[in-house]
Amino acid sequence: MSPTGLSGAGLGFRRELIPDLKSGVPECIDFFELAPENWVGMGGRSAKDLRHFTERHPFVCHGLSLDLGGPRPLDTTLLRKIKGFMRTHGMTLYTEHLSWCGDDGHLYDLLPIPCTADAVKWVAGRIRQAQDILEMRIGIENASYYVAPPGAEMNEAEFIRAVIEEADCLLHLDVNNMYVNSRNFGFAPLAFMAALPLERTCYLHMAGHYVEPDGILVDTHGAGVIDPVWQLLDAAYARVGPLPTCLERDFNIPALDELAREVVQIAAAQARFTLSARKVA
């Protein structure tokens, strides 16, 4: 079980799915995930729709715009709004990307942070500030990226470990992002995963990606999960256990029953690990 008490297999909560979900949430879905920026301060029908589900199902907050690696002051106003939002809806886990997304304004992209000692101190300080405001440890997600920033003093896994240890926060392990980065930059995903502070893992993501004509993989969350990523999920569970895992699907959203089949695959992977662990015991 996660440090937050959450468990099982979840699905990203999308407005497009609300009509079908109101007709019946598939039994395989143990929780939902949402981006708080898309819901904080929302009133009217949207607020009622959200309350309908948060009264019946656990929810996770996965942020998109906190800009942990950016140069601007941390958005403490947003954090306080998120804190109130989470308390209103009984949410116990907040995660964010280890990236930056703002300068003079919001850049609407998640950009990689230079892997330097100075960046470790900068980002860790901002994470600690966020945790102080939210009054909880937060999960930091390994992000996909397409250009490695210059001036690296350590590799990505070492950087993630250093940030998490300095900030005393948790790890949000995105399995598809590991796979995408490993293919684009030519490293072994299992070795990368082994170098992470896996003992801090609280939560996992699964998603699909797009392959460009030149072979570059793009983390779109717009396709089904492929077999190598499912295999990497099994390898992750072997190291961290069957922690709560969410299926992300943000574009080309199919029918609910198709999404449910992938959620069932997550649950099946969790069950396989549990059965194997019992046999060993």
Q: What is the pTM of this model?
A: 0.94
The contacts of residue 144 (CB under 8 Å, 6+ apart) are 110, 174, 176, 177, 180, 181, 219
Distance CA 176, CA 158 (A): 19
Report if residue 4 sits inside a domain.
no
| CA–CA–CA angle 168, 109, 2 (5° rounding) | 35
Report if residue 120 sits inside a domain.
yes
Report if residue 3 sits inside a domain.
no
Structure tokens at 165: 């240890």
Report if residue 80 sits inside a domain.
yes
Report if residue 60 sits inside a domain.
yes
Report if residue 102 sits inside a domain.
yes
pLDDT digits (tens, 9 = 90+) for 164-196: 999 999 999 999 999 999 999 999 999 999 999
For residue 105, the model assigns a pLDDT of 45
Report if residue 2 sits inside a domain.
no
For the chain, what is the radius of gyration of the CA atoms?
A: 18
CATH number at residue 266: 3.20.20.150
With a cut of 70, list the residues of the chain below it in pLDDT: 1-4, 102-109, 281
Number of domains forming the structure of the chain = 1
Element (H, E) at 33: strand 31-34
CA 168 to chain centre: 18
Report if residue 1 sits inside a domain.
no
Distance CA 180, CA 145 (A): 9
Given a contact cutoff of 8 angstroms between Cβ atoms, the answer to whether 207 and 213 are in contact is no
What domain range is 190 assigned to?
9-280
For residue 106, the model assigns a pLDDT of 45
pLDDT digits (tens, 9 = 90+) for 106-136: 444 678 889 999 999 999 999 999 999 999 9
